Structure 1
Amino acid sequence: MTDNTLPVLAGVQPPVRGSTYPAAIIDGEARFPEGAPARALKSPLDGAPLGSQLLADPALAAEAVERAQAAFMAWRTVPAPRRGELVRRIGEAVRQNKRELARIITLEAGKIPAEAEGEVQEWIDICEFAVGLSRQLHGLTIASERPDHRMMEQWLPLGPVGVITAFNFPVAVWAWNAMLAFVCGDSVIWKPSEKTPLCALAVQTLVGQAIASMDEAPAGLSQLVVGLADVGEAIAADTRVPLVSATGSVRMGKRVAATVGARLGRSLLELGGNNAMIVTPTARLDLALRAIVFAAAGTAGQRCTTLRRLIVHESVLPELLPKLVKAYESLPVGDPRVPGTLVGPLIDAASFEAMQLALDDAKIQGGRIVCGGRRIADNVPAGGFYVQPAIVEVPGNLKVVCHETFAPILYVMTYRELDEAIALNNGVPQGLSSAIFTERMQEAERFMAAAGSDCGIANVNIGTSGAEIGGAFGGEKETGGGRESGSDSWKAYMRRTTNTINYGDALPLAQGIRFDV
């Protein structure tokens, strides 16, 4: 599929006029503003044109927020299990259209079909999680110091939630946020990456059909606005949006946090990752090798959980590195639509240029390129940016290593003592995901303890990527501190209220204070 026509989803094609896609979908209506600037869309697979994407402006974003606010006022009073019913219907629609959605992800984001279908499965999984959650939004009963009083805590709907997403997971990250927001009683305004608007339009088509099928669900529950940074800034600055969840670069996240913080709103940030794996002398190298290759080269290195730093005990490197190079050299890199391909293209030319700049800097700073790094020209579509995943030996956390390059570069360094390895793991500004391969319980426990990995995710004998829906996802430091998806992440989408009920005939005050009149 290399033309500009999206697959039919649940009997309806996402909105398009000729080869032009709308700037927004507000209250279920596609908007094609007169005079709106347009962005040419091209597939990263081969550079084939996919049509023209109209871009919204801050005024259109403000209208979307207004309509989302009106929808919230109605949706917040719908019982949570009924809100869960909407998410159940959405999940069923996604199941029925899984393959078509995955094709769009492959077309627009360049993922191999297995990873694209895996991303759609994440949407299905979070729907199931959210449906169950809709009957478990619980508070607490707390002992009161006053007789004939009861104190309790409730979690109530928060308001319209702004969701800003990146190109690399154009469906799943929105779903993590939106499905929880819906069951928590919130409406959603979505600004997707301008690099993957067709995925967003397809998603919005399915969600709009589910909303229309349910009488209690207002049309404005899910809004879509496609634009550049000014649209994201407008959503972040709008006081009617109490929570903004943003996924992307550290630079973007800092701007969002500053804007939202200036009005004392909430921000949920999932930003850069610079993830490390420690390989100890007792590690099972067969397992470690498989984990390294998938985590470092999968999705062409364009995951926030991609393995970027490999910290290997000096006694293990002579055996591990040749095996790793052999595995890298045998990786099938090419068009994801060709069966057997494991690594697709980078998203665009800018990503390729950033990779080359990082490799040059690594050499200048004392690194050695062991293999890979070059653009592939043979047996791949001419218009795509296909690269050989690179392995670079470095003496430690060089300056270039401390910066996340969104490309398949694996920096390899050695250590002698576990404390040194943990210090290397923690010695970067980011703190998303980490892993250790060891057969020693003491090493595993030290890695996960308070003085161990400082990341939001710390794994033992599995790689840094492949998080499950049930666990809260996110990291510390420049990763932003936010948590999405499972566990008690739902609390970010609600407001907490503490209630005290006097069911007696007296009015005792707290702390024993007497104030008699």
Structure 2
Amino acid sequence: MTAQNLPTGEDINSLLEKSLLACGVDLDAVRGDYPTRSPLTGSPLLSVRSDDHSQIDAMISEAQQAFLTWRDVPAPARGALVKRWAELLTEHKADLANVITAQAGKITSEALGEVQEMIDICDLAVGQSRQLFGKTMPSERPGHRLMETWHPLGVVGVISAFNFPAAVWSWNTALALVCGNTVVWKPSENAQLTALAADALLARAVRDVGAPAGLHHVVCAERAGGEQLVDDERVALLSATGSVRMGKEVAPRVAGRFGRLLLELGGNNGAIVAPSADLDLTVRGVVFAAAGTAGQRCTSLRRLIVHESIADQLVDRIVAAYRTLSIGNPLDDGTLVGPLINQASFEGMQKALEQARADGGDVLVGGSRVLADAAEEAYYVEPAVVRMPAQTEVVRAETFAPILYVMTYSDFDEAIELHNGVPQGLSSAVFTNDQAEAERFLSSGGSDCGIANVNIGTSGAEIGGGFGGEKETGGGRESGSDSWRAYMRPATNTVNYSGELPLAQGVKFV
């Protein structure tokens, strides 16, 4: 593994200020006393405002008031707002990507990919704005029509994590807006500048198309700000992305007020590699899924379950690939692995590796910190590969860092059991050229995850498919497919045009 030179704090701040201004952020208006830091160097960035309880309450009130107007705007006209937003995102793709890199530490290609994901969901949402359709069902009564219609919910609260600091919000916001809702967003404390930049582009789109003011708000606050969205009865739907621990706290509170909930939680993702797999393809898929974004994707590959007949060969090739990874400045073209988000992530990784060794694991490569002399407050690490004798508790728990645990199996049933033997259920993959194995993996008796792939890694979901997982991942679905329904409420309608009043099921009441 090779380490690359790091930028200076001055370089990052200069690029950040230029990019924020290009996105339309009023720097004087957002300045405050809440410090932000860049994981690239650990150096301070622009300090931002800190919204208090009354300010957040006012945001929710404004969003609720705007909803009363926005819900009556025809859906295709609502789509025009999202279309304009996509145009601005396209125009300022590099600017927003720079902010994402400065705050989340993503390499440039991944940051640009995140903005492209935002553009893609806007494209999907614009099309969806003309297809918010319900069904018409046959009525058992003559002269009656039975149908369903779909209606906006109200204020949608979004709580997002640092690792996709803009894309996940856009998944929710693009669909929420075309469905007739308004949005209040509480981003991660580690990504508030990204949120302000992304929201500024949406604000420009609102002005350009003459949409109502108050459709969207950004909450700059610590945990209490998110809790306010969780508990406020005016927030009709809460979409929360984060840890399983967070989900277990949020879910009963929203349910207790009969609010709607969309959860995207942990993902301890696994991949099975069968004897028939194309190993060249497998190595490429595994290395990106496990080491990309420094292992800080919810879809990052964390468990590799390999047939015993090819395990040594495949592991040797993966270890060799890991040794070539360039680690360092994510703004440099040649860098493949940027920093962890903070010290806590690094310490969590070290604790997991220590436990893996205690459980009999063999760390084959990686795990060490690099570039500490260049940036004492930044945490760059070598992605690790660990050969494990069994799926121990440390393997069953998600560690949000680049650790790939490798285990072996002898028959496909054992592989499926190992794969499903964790509490999380987000993304999964099988590498095989055996059609029967591929079909079994995709069947109801195969992967128990919300995403199941064949001959592709666990990372890199496309906008067209619904994104989400099962078990402790929360059961939510965002992005494509019919996930728009989460942002609307159905109503069943019966229209009687018969001139008579027959009752259903033949009931007589005189």
Q: 1:12, CA displacement in angstroms?
A: 5.8
- Measure the CA separation in 1 of the matches of 2:39 and 2:382: 16
Separation in structure 1 between the aligned mates of residue 310 and residue 54 of structure 2, nearest angstrom = 58
- 2: CA distance, partners of 1:396 / 1:266: 39
Amino acid at match of 2:395: V
| 1:255 partner SS | helix
Q: Is 1:96 matched with 2:91?
A: yes
Unaligned runs of 5+ in 1: 23-31, 33-37
Give TM-score scaled by structure 1 length.
0.94
1:379, distance to aligned residue in structure 2 (A): 8.8
Report the CA distance between 1:97 and its aligned residue: 0.1
Deviation string 1:252-278 (CA, Å, 9 cap, x unpaired) is 111111110111111100000000000
1:487 aligns with 2:481: yes
* Other structure's SS at 1:435 match: strand
CA distance in 2, matches of 1:461, 1:281: 13
State the AA in 1 paired with 2:105.
Answer: G
Residue-by-residue CA offset, 1:459-480 (whole Å, 9 max, x unaligned): 0000000000000000000000
Q: Distance in 2 between matches of 1:321 and 1:475?
A: 28
Which residue in 2 is equivalent to 1:142? 137
The answer to whether residue 18 in structure 2 is matched with residue 21 in structure 1 is no
Q: Which residue of 2 aligns with 1:371?
A: 365
Matching residue of 2:59: 64
Q: What are the equivalent positions in structure 2 for 1:348-497 lying under 5 Å apart?
A: 348-377=342-371, 381-497=375-491
Deviation at 1:162, TM superposition (A): 0.3
Structure 1 Cα separation of the partners of residues 52 and 222 of structure 2: 8
Shift of 1:6: 2.6
Aligned amino acid, residue 2 of structure 1:
I
| Alignment equivalent of 1:78, drawn from 73, 81, 95 | 73
| CA displacement at 1:214 relative to structure 2 | 2.0
The one-letter amino acid of 1:143's match is P
Instruction: Report the Cα distance in structure 1 between the residues aligned to 2:233 and 2:127, rounded to whole angstroms.
Output: 31
User: In structure 2, what is the equivalent of residue 318 of structure 1?
Assistant: 312
Question: Whole-Å Cα distance in 1 between the matches of residues 12 and 85 of structure 2?
Answer: 28
Determine the C-alpha separation between the residues in 1 that align with 2:20 and 2:68: 30
**Structure 1's 177 and 152: CA in aligned 2 closer, same or farther, altered over 3 A?**
same
Tell me which residue corresponds to 1:271: 265
Q: CA deviation at 1:40?
A: 1.8
Question: Could you say what secondary structure the match of 1:288 adopts?
Answer: helix
Aligned partners of 2:129, 2:482: CA distance in 1, in Å? 13
Match of 1:53 among 44, 48, 55: 48
**Are the aligned partners of 1:250 and 1:271 in contact in 2 as well (CA < 8 Å)?**
yes
> Runs (4+) of structure 1 moved beyond 3 Å?
8-13, 378-383
Q: What is the SS of the residue equivalent to 2:202?
A: helix
Partner residue of 1:152 out of 144, 147, 156: 147
- TM-fit CA distance, 1:242: 1.1
Q: Is 1:2–2:3 an aligned residue pair?
A: no
TM superposition shift of 1:53:
2.5
Q: Is the 8 A contact 2:20 2:197 kept in 1?
A: yes
The alpha-carbon distance between structure 1 residues 328 and 379, as it changes in their structure 2 partners (threshold 3 A), is: farther
Q: Secondary structure at the match of 2:417?
A: helix
For residues 303-354 of structure 1, give each alpha carbon's deviation from its aligned partner in whole angstroms, at most 9, with x where no partner exists. Answer: 0000000000000111111111110011011111222000000011111011
Letter in 2 for 1:150: R
The number of equivalent residue pairs is 499
Report the Cα offset of residue 13 of structure 1. Answer: 3.8
CA distance in 2, matches of 1:342, 1:235: 37
1:300 alignment counterpart: 294
Q: Does 1:309 align with 2:303?
A: yes
RMSD: 1.4
Alpha-carbon offset, residue 60 of structure 1: 2.1
Alignment of 1:239 onto 2:250? no
Question: In proportion to residue count, which structure has more helix?
Answer: 2
What is aligned with 1:28? none
Identity of aligned residues (%): 58
SS at the partner of 1:366? coil
- Per the TM alignment, residue 378 of structure 1 is displaced from its structure 2 partner at its CA by 7.4
Note the alpha carbon deviations across 1:435-472, whole angstroms, 9 max, x for none.
00000010000011011000000000000000000000
- How do residues 104-119 of structure 1 correspond to structure 2 at under 5 angstroms? 104-119=99-114
SS at match of 1:407: coil
Distance (Å, rounded) in 1 between the aligned partners of 2:452 and 2:459: 11
Q: TM-score of the superposition, structure 2-length normalised?
A: 0.96
Task: Give the 3-state SS of the residue equivalent to 2:161 in structure 1.
Answer: coil
What is the CA deviation profile of residues 122-155 of structure 1, one whole-angstrom value per residue up to 9, with x for unaligned ones?
A: 0000000000000111001110011100011001
Structure 2 residue corresponding to 1:205, chosen from 200, 204, 209? 200
- Which one-letter code corresponds to 1:140 in the other structure? K
Instruction: Supply the AA of the counterpart residue of 1:100.
Output: D
Alignment CA distance shift 1:351-1:8 (3 Å)? closer
- Greater displacement, 121-130 / 61-70: 61-70
Alignment correspondent of 2:7: none
Alignment-mate amino acid for residue 12 of structure 2: T
Tell me the SS of whatever aligns to 1:463: coil
Output the amino acid matched with 1:441.
Answer: Q
1: distance between equivalents of 2:24 and 2:259? 37
* 1:129 matched to 2:124: yes
For 2:205, give the aligned amino acid: A
Kept after mapping to 2: 8 A contact 1:166/1:247: yes
